[in-house]
A = this chain, B = another copy of it.
Amino acid sequence: MIEKRTIKELIARVGRGKVFADREYLLAYSYDATGLEFLPDAVVFAEREEDVAAVIAVCRRHGVPLVPRGAGVGYSGGALAVNGGIVLVFTRMNRILRLERENLLAVVEPGVITSDLQEAAAKAGLFYPPDPASLKTSTIGGNLAENAGGPRCLKYGVTGNYVLALEAFLMSGEKVRFGSETIKNVAGYDLRSLLVGSEGTLAVITRATLRLLPLPPRRRLFRVDFATLEAGARFVQRVIQGNVQPSVLEFMDRSSLQAVCDYQGRTLDPRLGAAVLVEIDGGAAEVAERETRLEEEVAAARPLGRERAETPAEQEELWEVRRAVSPAIARLKPKKINEDIVVPCGRIPEMVGFIESLAREFSLCIVLFGHFGDGNIHTNLMVDPNDAGEMKRAEIVLDRIFRRVIEIGGTLSGEHGIGLSKRPFMGYQFSPAELELFRRLKKVFDPDNLLNPGKIF
């Protein structure tokens, strides 16, 4: 608990309309997409970088934890005040400060909503590729903290690949800037990359310079249906290794498709085992050429069927199914244990088969979908917290999945981050020496462990 005078000091420094300690505010900022809840002591809405500096000064003086927060839609608990303290919300710092076609970049505040940036860029004929499923609500600041990915990251890379420069405050109160307005930059240690994906534990980002691309003139979306999970996974693998170079290669298993059909009140084709979405983008001839190569792969894979979406409206219809998976499966069981493991792209069919056999062996409902194109398999264990036996079985299965992922050269998380939820498994991926190095780096940036404590390690 922080003292009343600390709240008063905050109000004095940043202004009354930005500081709240009422219970309804504390509750509203106590949870994120994990479903976990931790009540903060106060919520502050930053409106400018001076507010951030002031909150840091107050936290440092009184030894109060500080938790930066964007839209609070993260899946790993990164925005939760596990030790109480102040939640610093960035949704009011949401200006696109510059958007320059000649330099192919945008300068934004951390509270800009991802899709707002994409739309502003598109109006200028430009393209900001990172597209987490939450893009209509998530903020750039949250995307930076978790190094968010998304379907198009297969071809275009993750958030970090678009960060040219970052401005941030250290817990010492000093403002730092890393990076430049150029694509290449090897001056000094790459602290820009260190801050990206550091889950708000090293510094508080207040401004980002992001790289934009020319907008691809054309896009086509295809849906290819398969009778079995394995056939779909093999198709994905062949498309990656060939010369199709899709911009999207998304996968949905039968449970995902069934859940979406139930959600949308439709009937599912009983033969259907999996569906793959493939997007191709580029110039007209380029798209036509890649489509020919894709059709060869489709023919060789002998699918149940395939759809081709040419207009934006047709494409949106196919996308709707994919975007509905997450909310639709949430209705299958009271709780979704939501993992985003990644395996090397040649190991996808093997990993999918392994998870399937575990689901059978332990009588668990496991829903698989996601960005199979880059090996990122969203693995959802659907459970009932009141069923102790099922919870125990889920725990065993999760443990086996993580162990296997690491054995075959994969990683615990592709885009959600570690936060609270995957923290217990860090020892599978990192040695004590590596974890100790993380802790020592954290100490350089935040010697008093005030910035988003209790996360990652």
A147 at the interface (CB under 8 A from B): yes
Shortest Cβ gap from A163 to chain B (Å): 11
A225 at the interface (CB under 8 A from B): no
| Pick from B245, B375, B430, B456: contact of A184, CB under 8 Å | B375
Shortest Cβ gap from A113 to chain B (Å): 21
* Cα distance A344–B185 in the bound complex, in angstroms: 11
A41 at the interface (CB under 8 A from B): no
Shortest Cβ gap from A221 to chain B (Å): 19
In the complex, residue of chain B having the shortest beta-carbon distance to the beta carbon of A216? B243
Tell me which residues across on chain B come within 8 A of A437, comparing CB atoms. 170, 176, 191, 444-445
Stretch at the interface among A263-271, A307-315, A414-422: A414-422
Given A103-B346, A285-B285, A347-B103, verify A181-B430 contact (CB < 8 Å): no
Asked whether, in the complex, the Cβ of B418 is within 8 Å of the Cβ of A187, the reply is: yes
**Which of A243, A371, A415, A438 counts the most B-chain CB atoms under 10 A from its CB?**
A243
By size class, the interface of chain A is 35 or more
**Which of A160, A187, A196 counts the most B-chain CB atoms under 10 A from its CB?**
A187
Which residues of chain A from 348 to 404 have a CB within 8 Å of any chain B CB? 371, 374-376
Asked whether, in the complex, the Cβ of B411 is within 8 Å of the Cβ of A105, the reply is: no
Stretch at the interface among A6-14, A86-94, A248-256, A286-294: A286-294
* Cα distance A160–B160 in the bound complex, in angstroms: 12
Asked whether, in the complex, the Cβ of B289 is within 8 Å of the Cβ of A241, the reply is: no
* Cα distance A242–B104 in the bound complex, in angstroms: 11
A39 at the interface (CB under 8 A from B): no
| Pick from B188, B374, B411: contact of A187, CB under 8 Å | B411
| Pick from B158, B444, B456: contact of A440, CB under 8 Å | B444
Asked whether, in the complex, the Cβ of B345 is within 8 Å of the Cβ of A409, the reply is: no
| Pick from B157, B214, B422, B433: contact of A170, CB under 8 Å | B433
Given A102-B241, A193-B193, A243-B283, verify A414-B184 contact (CB < 8 Å): yes
* Cα distance A160–B289 in the bound complex, in angstroms: 30
Asked whether, in the complex, the Cβ of B286 is within 8 Å of the Cβ of A241, the reply is: no
| Pick from B149, B241, B457: contact of A104, CB under 8 Å | B241
Asked whether, in the complex, the Cβ of B283 is within 8 Å of the Cβ of A431, the reply is: no
* Cα distance A101–B104 in the bound complex, in angstroms: 34
| Pick from B187, B194, B289: contact of A283, CB under 8 Å | B289
* Cα distance A274–B437 in the bound complex, in angstroms: 50
Given A284-B289, A430-B188, verify A182-B410 contact (CB < 8 Å): yes
Tell me which residues across on chain B come within 8 A of A175, comparing CB atoms. 433
Shortest Cβ gap from A214 to chain B (Å): 5
Asked whether, in the complex, the Cβ of A181 is within 8 Å of the Cβ of B409, the reply is: yes
Asked whether, in the complex, the Cβ of B409 is within 8 Å of the Cβ of A180, the reply is: yes
Tell me which residues across on chain B come within 8 A of A185, comparing CB atoms. 342, 411, 413-414
Asked whether, in the complex, the Cβ of B285 is within 8 Å of the Cβ of A188, the reply is: no
Shortest Cβ gap from A205 to chain B (Å): 15
Given A176-B437, A184-B414, A185-B414, verify A194-B197 contact (CB < 8 Å): no
Tell me which residues across on chain B come within 8 A of A245, comparing CB atoms. 214
Shortest Cβ gap from A290 to chain B (Å): 7
Asked whether, in the complex, the Cβ of A411 is within 8 Å of the Cβ of B194, the reply is: no
Asked whether, in the complex, the Cβ of B194 is within 8 Å of the Cβ of A412, the reply is: no
**Contact digits for A211-226, partner B, Cβ 8 Å, 1 yes 0 no:** 0001001000000000
Asked whether, in the complex, the Cβ of A411 is within 8 Å of the Cβ of B184, the reply is: yes
The 19 sampled A-B contact pairs (Cβ below 8 Å) are A147-B190, A170-B433, A175-B433, A177-B431, A180-B409, A180-B411, A180-B429, A182-B414, A186-B416, A186-B418, A187-B411, A187-B429, A189-B202, A189-B438, A191-B437, A283-B290, A285-B288, A437-B445, A444-B444
Q: List 18 additional contacts besides A184-B414, A186-B197, A189-B202; criterion CB under 8 Å.
A: A102-B346, A103-B347, A160-B193, A177-B431, A178-B434, A180-B344, A186-B418, A187-B411, A187-B426, A188-B457, A189-B198, A189-B441, A189-B456, A191-B441, A214-B241, A282-B286, A286-B289, A444-B444
10 shortest A-B CB distances, which residue pairs?
A181-B409, A102-B346, A193-B193, A184-B414, A285-B289, A286-B286, A103-B346, A180-B411, A174-B433, A182-B342
